[in-house]
Structure 1
Amino acid sequence: MFAEIITIGDEILIGQIIDTNSAFIGKELNKIGVSVYQITSIQDDRTHILNALRDAKSRAQIIIVTGGLGPTKDDITKHTFCEYFNDQLVENKAVLSHVEALFAKYINTPISDINRKQALVPSKATVLHNANGTAPGMWFYEDNTVYVSLPGVPFEMKHLITNEVLPKIARDFKRPYILHKTIITYGLGESALAARIEDWENNLPEFIKLAYLPNLGKVRLRLSAKGPNKEIITKAIEEESQKLTSLIGDLVYGTENEETLEHVVGQLLTKKKLTLATAESFTGGRIAESITAIPGASAYFKGTVVSYATAIKIEVLKVDSELIEKHSVVSAPVAKAMAENVKKLMKSDYAIATTGNAGPTKGDSNAAVGTVFIAIATPKRTVVEKFIMGNQRERIVEKSVNKAFELLQKEILKF
């Protein structure tokens, strides 16, 4: 079974906002055995919407549209659906009562006729209750095709997908099972990794596909299986992932079930009842940001010092100024001192320190752009590694953040 996602909004096409709705919808549909065939973004334009709906019908059995359901004149989706289905708008009493209740409870301004128009829906639509907003979702069924229209506001859309759309699809349609398992590797590039597992990949069952997903120092290997029998594909995925791990076990840090490396490190620290602090220079707090984005990180993360300026390294982290003079601010000795001193300052078990030159200029160091030092202070020792991360600023920072977590994980696992 195939679905197509259509997002409506000029703000997407001009780059004013990023289309996160499609990513969420695609992931959730995949979980219940619906494959997304195509994602299309279009203008708030009647002809464009009509053509998109007709084109999608030729490819998919389920068409999900987000956006264009507000009360203002530029939101034309409901009117266009009426034209597409040769229908007319009618007032839905339940939606009107909901809109009036929302205004009475949460909104200080009086409800207007414009707001009441949210209760107008095509007569052929099954209304999907939007508990989080005034624009209802709508479900149409015609010529063996489902059309779903949802608000573009992400938290409203997510609620409707989770509580209305997915349960209805699951009840109404027989679907295949789709299963993914992602193995994350560090330390070897995509082409070298492919050469190493070539024989195994060539002998995969026909219903299992392998995808390489490289990204800044790591490669995710995603195994995907699709079929009518859940037990068969589950067993096959497990068997093949075990074979794969036996071939590249030295490169694998774990599997991904919505987990990142920082999640894995956090779980290790929590399990071992250990704590972490960071001292960041050119990474500017990105490592700390990645850690604190995880719920429960307060159990193991003590804090950070973003010592972007050399003076802060000296005054706050107590790095010896003579050490900086002798070796340069971008150097292994300075990275080592930063890690050890922030560990002492925060009274943590482990510490990460970064110092480097992300460019475009050399700053307080003569080190070439892309030169990076990452230090890990542990309860027993401090290790420092030097890397050359290229010459693109954002890539240098992101690769360094990934590498810092990789090095930390390796050190934690040694003790």
Structure 2
Amino acid sequence: MKAEIITTGDEILLGQIVDTNSAWMAQALLSLQIQIAQITSISDREEHILEALSNATQRADLIICTGGLGPTKDDITKLTAAKFFQTSLVRNEGVLTHVRGIFEKFNRTMPDINLGQADVLSNGEVLFNDWGTAPGIWVAHEGKVYVFLPGVPFEMKNLMSHRVLPKLQEFNSQEKIAIRYILTVGIGESHLAEQIADIEDAFPPHIHLAYLPKIGLVRLRISASGSDMVQLEEELDHYAKLLINRVGDAVVAHDDISFEEAIVRSFVESKETLATAESCTGGNVAKQITEIAGASAMFQGGIVAYANQAKEHLLHVEHSVLAQYGAVSEETVIQMARGAQKQLGASYAIATSGIAGPGGGTEEKPVGTVWVAIAGKTEVKTKLFQFHQDRILNIERTTAQSLLMLWNLFQKEKGI
């Protein structure tokens, strides 16, 4: 079974919001062996919605359309869908009672404009929205399935999880897909591709390798499609093993997890702890770690010491070191890392200090100059980076490099 996702909304095309709905739905559908043929984002205009529905019908068996189910004049998805199916909208009393109940719950008067949210496609099945006023609609039409969902992420997820996915489980997809992930760090995409080129060239036609690079890491995704899932799994295990053996120490994880999650898991398993002392990254390193469930078992805490006074008082950086070498220096980040390690009682600590930009640079220390220190159990590793003018990118790069340095020292000291 192949699916297509259509997201409607001018706010997506204008870049005012990011379409996270499609990514979430794609992962949810993959769990049911439903592959995405295409994802399309369109404006809130009738002709665009009609064209998208018509084109999707040619490519997919399942078409999911999000957005445009609200009560305002720019929410035209239902009216346009009625025209597409050559049907009409009918008022559903059950939905109307539900919508009124939501307003009564909060002691509010329901505006007349919300009456329209109880209007549904006459050829469709209502998918009640427990968390909002806009119901979803399921339409089976000429051998295809169309699902219309609200664009609000938490409402869409609730409807998908409790209404749509259970119905889709009744469909048996003949084509299966199996996937393996390999997370690598410290090796660039082009170098990695050269290193494993002969293995990739030997893949049969139904097995594909994708390179998914981010700052400081590359995730390999090996996918295989066919009708025999057992055979697909065996083939992927074989090729994944070949790739892992070839890449060696650059492999961090064999699961579909982030680098941060791999760090958290490894620290917890080794009973090690981490602290951060951040200046130019402003807490971003700590944020990346604490977003991972289970981080509380290894993360002691973080100190954002932006001003020199904070570095002295909170991390015990010597005033003379700051006066002689400056905040952006190897000497300072060493004392920051050791200070965080001692103050927070951690076995490892990350320290960052730099000039993120766009201002603040000098001829000696231009914008993008960053020092990172990692304090471990037996030594402190430091490194100077010369990034560029973009503030956000400098923070992201510093964060990525500091985590990579942490990982390398952790691996070196493992077992000590």
1:279–1:338 contact (8 Å) kept in structure 2: yes
Q: Structure 1 residues 77-86 or 171-180, which shifts more?
A: 171-180
Q: How does 1:17-96 map to 2 (within 5 A)?
A: 17-96=17-96
Residue 311 of structure 1 is matched in structure 2 by: 309
- Per the TM alignment, residue 363 of structure 1 is displaced from its structure 2 partner at its CA by 4.3
Structure 1 gaps of 5+ residues are none
- One-letter code of the match for 1:58? Q
Secondary structure of the structure 2 residue equivalent to 1:58: helix
| Aligned residue in 2 for 1:324 | 322
- Summarize the alignment of residues 88-237 of structure 1 with structure 2, pairs less than 5 Å apart: 88-105=88-105, 107-237=106-236
Q: Provide Cα deviations, 1:35-91, integer angstroms capped at 9, x if missing partner.
A: 222221112112221121112112222111000101222211111111111111112
Aligned to 1:270: 268
Deviation larger for 29-38 or 78-87? 29-38
Residue 347 of structure 1 corresponds to which residue in structure 2?
Answer: 345
Q: What amino acid does structure 2 have at the position aligned with 1:117?
A: G
Query: Structure 2 matches for 1:292-303, cutoff 5 A?
Result: 292-303=290-301
Give the drift of 1:411: 2.6
Higher mean C-alpha displacement, 230-239 vs 323-332 = 323-332
Read off the aligned partner of 1:311 and give its amino acid letter.
Q
- Partner Cα separation in structure 2 for residue 173 and residue 113 of structure 1: 43
Instruction: Report if aligned partners of 2:334, 2:351 keep a CA contact under 8 Å in 1.
Output: yes
Q: Is the 8 A contact 1:310 1:364 kept in 2?
A: no
5 Å-filtered alignment, 1:312-391, equals 312-363=310-361, 366-391=364-389
The amino acid across from 1:292 in the alignment is T
Alpha-carbon contact 2:361-2:367 (below 8 Å) kept = no
CA shift for structure 1 position 211: 0.8
Deviates more, 1:62-71 or 1:391-400: 391-400
Distance 2:174 2:125 in 1: 22
- 8 Å Cα contact 2:216-2:404 kept in structure 1: no
**Could you tell me the TM-score, scaled by structure 1's length?**
0.94
Q: Distance in 2 between matches of 1:328 and 1:218?
A: 31
Q: Distance in 2 between matches of 1:43 and 1:375?
A: 48
**TM-fit CA distance, 1:228:** 1.2
Could you tell me how far apart the structure 2 residues matched to 1:399 and 1:27 are?
28
Which whole-Å CA distance do the structure 1 matches of 2:21 and 2:91 have between them? Answer: 28
CA distance in 1, matches of 2:99, 2:384: 60
TM-aligned CA deviation for residue 152 of structure 1? 0.5
Q: Which amino acid aligns with 1:234?
A: E
- CA RMSD, 1 decimal: 1.9
Identical residues among aligned pairs (%): 43
Q: 1:395 aligns with which of 374, 393, 396?
A: 393
Change (3 A) 1:177 1:98: same
SS of structure 1 residue aligned to 2:179:
strand
Please tell me whether residue 254 in structure 1 is matched to residue 253 in structure 2. Answer: yes
Offset from partner CA, 1:287-320 (integer Å, 9 cap, x none): 0111222233222222211122233222322211
Matches of 2:217 and 2:174 in 1, distance apart? 33
Match of 1:244 in 2: 243
**Structure 1 position 374, deviation (Å):** 1.6
